[in-house]
Structure 1
Amino acid sequence: MRRVSMVGTPGSGKTTLGRALAERLGVEYLELDSVFHQPGWEPLPVEEFRARAAEVLAGDGWVVDGNYSAVRELVWARADTVVWFDRPRAVIMWRVFVRTLRRAVTREVLWNGNREPLRGLLPVDREQSVIAWAWVKHAEYRERYRAAAADPGDLDFVRIATDADARALLDRAA
């Protein structure tokens, strides 16, 4: 396990485990959100996004966190392992709500000067609220990655459904 793709719903633990796994493996960590979301939450043009991701993917070892279809085939073509976070919806929704509230209240700077606004707590528009996005995408991601895990090709698929699964993955990387 040297080139790892971390996928799953927001709030599932991709970033936390991804950073710990990259540190344990001694490889670069890339959160795709940090590249895609430019100042003012403007999306990076697709070709530039793919080019920036490809720079990291050219390395011998990395952990890449994110579900972006624009770069998925690039990531998976170089990956040896896909870590799929398949947490229950109730767990996801609680985690993403608490995280969003904390970020909005503390005005935590995320990527490129962006902050989560308080309006992000109102799950109305999935393009404006990570909470709404997590709700809508949960079933879609579960089906997408369940199908991919059933026919993984050369990829090692690791399903993370519990905190114990996450600890076991880190132990495996030791």
Structure 2
Amino acid sequence: MLKVNVVGTSGSGKSTFSRKLATKLQVPHIELDALFWLPNWGETPDEQFFEKIRQETATERWVLDGNYNRTVPVKWRDVDTVIWINYSYTRTVLQAVKRAFIRSLTRKELWAGTGNKESFRKSFMSKDSVILWTLKTYHSNVERYESMMADPQYAHIQFIRLRSPSQSKAFLAKL
């Protein structure tokens, strides 16, 4: 495992897992959200976003955290391992709700230099709610990643599907 992409539905725990994995492997942790989001919740245009990904993944070893399906041709160009955090729907939604609640209380900046913080209104009463996003994308993410795992064009990638926190913990312990 030299170049790893950790994927999973929003709220699944992929960032937490990615940080632990990067620490264990002693490699940089790259968070796609940090590359994408601009101040005031602005979005980086795709060409600039893709270039940021190319620059960050130009090294020999890394753990990349995030989905952004449109980035697959860029981020999977050299990837050797994809770890899919695929906990149950109920667990993932509950984790997303808990995270949103804590973030709305602490008002901690999510990505350095952006000033972006989650608020109760944005998290729980907005069409842009990360909770709503989790509810809407969970099942399509399962279908997409199952399809990608079976796709011959990705045969060079080792896919690891972790279905529970205990599996994730055991995986990290074995490293």
TM-score by length of 1: 0.93
Q: What RMSD over aligned residues (CA atoms) do the two structures have, in Å?
A: 1.2
2:120 maps to what in 1? Answer: 118
Deviation at 1:123, TM superposition (A): 5.5
Query: What secondary structure sits across from 2:76 in the alignment?
Result: helix
Q: Is the 8 A contact 2:89 2:138 kept in 1?
A: yes
**Distance in 2 separating the partners of 1:32 and 1:170:** 21
Q: CA deviation at 1:118?
A: 1.1
| 1:100/1:120 contact within 8 Å kept | no
Contact 1:37 1:43 in 2 (8 A): yes
* Structure 1 Cα separation of the partners of residues 123 and 69 of structure 2: 25
**1:145-156 counterparts in 2 under 5 A?**
145-151=145-151, 152-156=154-158
Moved over 2 A (4+): 120-124
1:134-145 aligned at under 5 Å gives the runs: 134-145=134-145
* 1:61-72 map, 5 Å: 61-72=61-72
The CA distance in 1 between the partners of 2:55 and 2:81, in whole Å, is 19
- Secondary structure at the counterpart of residue 118 of structure 2: coil
Q: Return the TM-score normalized by structure 2.
A: 0.93
**Offset at residue 95 of structure 1 (A):** 0.5
Report the residue type matching 2:170 in the other structure.
Answer: A
Instruction: Please name the residue that 1:30 is paired with.
Output: 30
Partner secondary structure for residue 29 of structure 2: strand
Tell me the secondary structure at the aligned position of residue 140 of structure 1. Answer: helix
Q: Structure 1, unaligned stretches of length 5 or more?
A: none
Q: Tell me, what secondary structure is at the counterpart of 1:82?
A: strand
The answer as to whether partners of 2:6 and 2:64 remain within 8 angstroms in 1 is yes
Aligned pairs, number: 171
